[in-house]
Chain A
Amino acid sequence: MDIIEGPRFLGGFESENDVGNVCPVCNEVSKDLLQLNIHLDVVHGFSEQSSDTGGLNTPIWDGNKAVDQKRSTKKPKFVLQRSHWAKMNKGQSRCSECNVKLHTSTGIINCRHCGQLFCFKHCQNAMRLNEQAAYDIERGEWCRCCRNCSLKKLGRNSFGAVESKTDVFLKLRRSKVEDKQLLLLQLENRFVRLINGITHVNLKHRDSILGSVRKAAEISRLEKSIVPWVPDQFALACSLCFKGFGVTLRKHHCRLCGKVVCDDGATNCSNQIPITNMINAAADLPIRLPPELEISELSTQIRVCSMCSQFLFKNRKFDAELAMPLSTIFQLYERMHGTAAIIISATQSLKEATTEQSYEDAKSPNASDVAKLSRARRRLLDSFAGYDRITKQILNSHARNPTEARIQSSIVSQASLFIQQNMLPLKNLTSHLASQIESSQEPSPEATSNAISGRSSNNLTIQEVKEYRTQLMVLNEQKYLVENMIANATKQRKFEEATTLSKNLEELKLQAGELSNLLGDEGFS
């Protein structure tokens, strides 16, 4: 919500020249301001009114009464309701905020809004109130109020007024973008003209013996005609990296913008670029290559500053890369993503189905339901296998550059994480399923397949894995306890106990190690 409270309006000057000394009430023209003042006082009886305007509506400059009177005649006088104000009880009233006894030294003020009494310190906020002392943001007058009222007023927020600057920003940005596009257009124009000129010159001097000399001179003339070069004497430092020119750092001109830049390899401010490269990079520009000239024959290089080359070629390069077909890694990753989505949804539905099943009839699941469940399970396992296959393909595919190699390794690690996260609940589900099938009287072929697939890589049944895990957990807990006991015993200098406990700790560690070996991959990572 945008709330804009204007600056506190205390009155405004109106130019006397524009209005003239015309009485605002009866339009009688007076000779000067003093006369108008007297006229108003006498005829319209403003003299008493202006004397008791005091309080809320008193402008800061009392000296210029005429202006004040003008204003107050336009606007009906603001009279705030006072009936709700708390009465001052001498020696007994206290500030509602700090509870200090109120007297003249602390200041005695009613909050205009809630009417309670405050000391001066705790009634320093202001809000716009109408004559009924209700909050009125549009037509209200600024009135003194307590902090509480000011905090509670409608639409107040703790971060102050909010003004949407998006439009301003968009406008600015649009103009910036337009500038940029204009600049780009200009550069492109120059570039096309330059290239066309150079090819023309090349063609002209292709066969002559003295061609190379004349060609250089002509190209140089051409370059200068396309963009006016900044005179050398004005350039003391490179316009891009601001390094001062000298004997080692020579001045060069960018052939597209005409600025003087350096040729420092470290900053790469400007480079000699073969025009054949540039023509290839900006193939969309209307460059007219004479048909009788082979592109490969053009050996001319032109100097372009890094700014211009970026301007001209960065977007083109980006577009070109976008248009390129995806590398195999990314194509595979897209497929992998699809498979992952399938797996997640399938796991969810399978989980729902099994819980439903167990609610409905825990004792005797009927055969068709079990068959349906195991079909779903098989589908899920198949998609897991597919996922794994894709992961392997990604791992085996060749990365074109280091960035891709990094992406490749990230994808693979993410994939293994995904499998770990989603296989585990699946295993729980399958054990659940298996127990259901076992409990049903007739062992179906599914049961055997379940029992087989229920076995993990190191020939442990799920039950065993579970059991060993609890044991390992218990051992680890005990290890922790014994460690604490040892610490305690040592603190209390009971070294005999500590040695006994340490022996036990060794035993615990040994057994824990054995168990984790037994569990292998099924252990806690």
Chain B
Amino acid sequence: MLQFKLVLLGDSSVGKSSIVHRFVKDSFDEFRESTIGAAFLSQTVKLGKHDDVTIKFEIWDTAGQERYKSLAPMYYRNANAALIVYDVTQPGSLLKAQSWVEELKHKVGDQDLVICLVGNKLDLCAEDPNARQVDIDDAQAYAQEKHLLFHEVSAKTGVGVAQIFQEMGEKVYEQKTAESAAAAASRPRKAVNVELQRPSTNDSTTCCA
């Protein structure tokens, strides 16, 4: 099973952890405490587009508070995907998200990192249309300009959360296969590639992983 490292970035209290928990456990906690350091979760995604291939996301959910800023580089380094989250009711959080995008583009080569801009707390807009402070068109325009994926979701209702991961999974999978194909093409024909390590199945029905 292919594994991909995914990192969540964004201002504090925009709902990074909530999105992850919606994705991983399909649950929502109204009174979630702010994350300390970085939390780790993993979840598999089935890709319908590619013959139901299953891939696995290793998700690092970083803390948004300024204090933990120094931890982020460690987690976005070598990441395959980054989810940059902002709060649609907080214009400041989009600015923060943009600065994260800049940092990623600056520090990590953009060709091997799939970045997705996510506007969270859509449910608040549904309740009260005046609550929206960030226009969807602005954010979308920005995403297009920077070649990012873009979604607006609600972790509370679960709207759009699965789609993000689905789309990101497809994107990283395509990238990976293209890469390996290129590598295979460049490799001399005669080289025999023996897989020494048996791919481990993290299946609870078998006793030996």
Contacts and interface: CB of A to CB of B under 8 A. Distances in A.
B130 interface: no
A477 B202 contact: no
B209 interface: yes
Contacts of B31: none
A500 interface: yes
A466 B70 CA distance: 13
Contacts of A501: 40
A495 B36 contact: no
A500 B3 CA distance: 10
Contacts of A482: 40
B74 to A, nearest CB: 6
Nearest to A494: B202
Contact-residue size bin, chain A (C-beta under 8 Å from the other chain): 20 to 34
A481 interface: yes
A493 B37 contact: no
A511 interface: yes
A30 to B, nearest CB: 98
A508 B68 CA distance: 13
Most buried by A among B37, B39, B209: B37
A507 interface: yes
A312 to B, nearest CB: 73
Contacts of A474: 37, 67-68, 70-71
Contacts of A497: 40, 42, 58
B71 A478 contact: yes
A90 B3 CA distance: 86
Interface in B2-33: 3
B134 interface: no
A313 B107 CA distance: 83
A471 B74 CA distance: 12
Interface string A466-485: 00001100110110011001
Contacts of B70: 470-471, 474-475
A349 to B, nearest CB: 33
A496 B200 contact: yes
Nearest to B38: A478
Contact of A500 (B39, B40, B74, B204): B40
Given A470-B67, A495-B209, A496-B200, A481 B74 contact: no
A494 B42 CA distance: 10
Interface string B56-67: 001000000001
Contacts of A507: 74
Interface in B158-209: 200, 202, 204, 209
Given A478-B38, A495-B209, A500 B71 contact: no
A508 B77 CA distance: 13
A511 B74 contact: yes
B200 A477 contact: no
Contacts of B200: 495-496
A478 B37 contact: yes
A253 to B, nearest CB: 83
A508 B70 CA distance: 11
21 contacts: A470-B67, A470-B70, A474-B70, A474-B71, A478-B37, A478-B38, A481-B36, A481-B37, A481-B39, A485-B40, A493-B209, A495-B200, A495-B209, A496-B3, A496-B200, A497-B58, A500-B40, A504-B40, A504-B74, A507-B74, A508-B74
Interface of B: 3, 36-40, 42, 58, 67-68, 70-71, 74, 200, 202, 204, 209
Which 5 A-B pairs give the minimum distances between C-beta atoms? A478-B37, A471-B70, A481-B37, A495-B209, A496-B202
Given A478-B37, A481-B36, 17 more contacts: A474-B67, A474-B68, A475-B70, A477-B36, A477-B37, A478-B71, A481-B38, A482-B40, A485-B40, A494-B202, A495-B200, A496-B42, A500-B58, A501-B40, A507-B74, A508-B74, A511-B74
